[in-house]
Amino acid sequence: MGKKRNIENKRLLNLLNLLRKAKKPFWKRVRELLSRPRRKRVEVNLSKIDKYSNEGETIVVPGKVLGGGILSKPVRIVAFSFSESAKNLIVKAGGKAEKIEDLLEKEQDNVSEFRIII
């Protein structure tokens, strides 16, 4: 039997508890990805988001968004965290950078409109 991990990040713990209460399979998958050990957590560059997203789409990144690459279209990106350069490039492209907690509170049931990029 594996050793139980001790998650110290209070924000992450609170988010995982909120996601546990969510009923949709989409949020269950987000929770699974955020529950990974730190070395296996999702990190996505803007170039990958630009490649796999459409203009005006909502992209969910269950991890950190990094500023590598260029974002050429306005996209709403929802993630656990953002690098400063990623935030600046998202705003410069006309998009929005939001926290997962905010999306979960506002639009918990509209998951058919969201896409996860890992």
Q: Would you give per-residue pLDDT tens digits along the chain (118 residues)?
A: 555 555 568 989 999 999 998 888 999 999 999 998 888 989 999 999 999 999 989 999 999 999 999 999 999 999 999 999 999 999 999 999 999 998 888 876 677 778 888 8
Domain ranges of the chain: 10-116
CB atoms within 10 A of CB 80: 22
pTM of the shown model? 0.86
Q: Report d(CA 45, CA 50) in Å as an integer.
A: 9
Highest CATH level, class, for 10-116? alpha beta
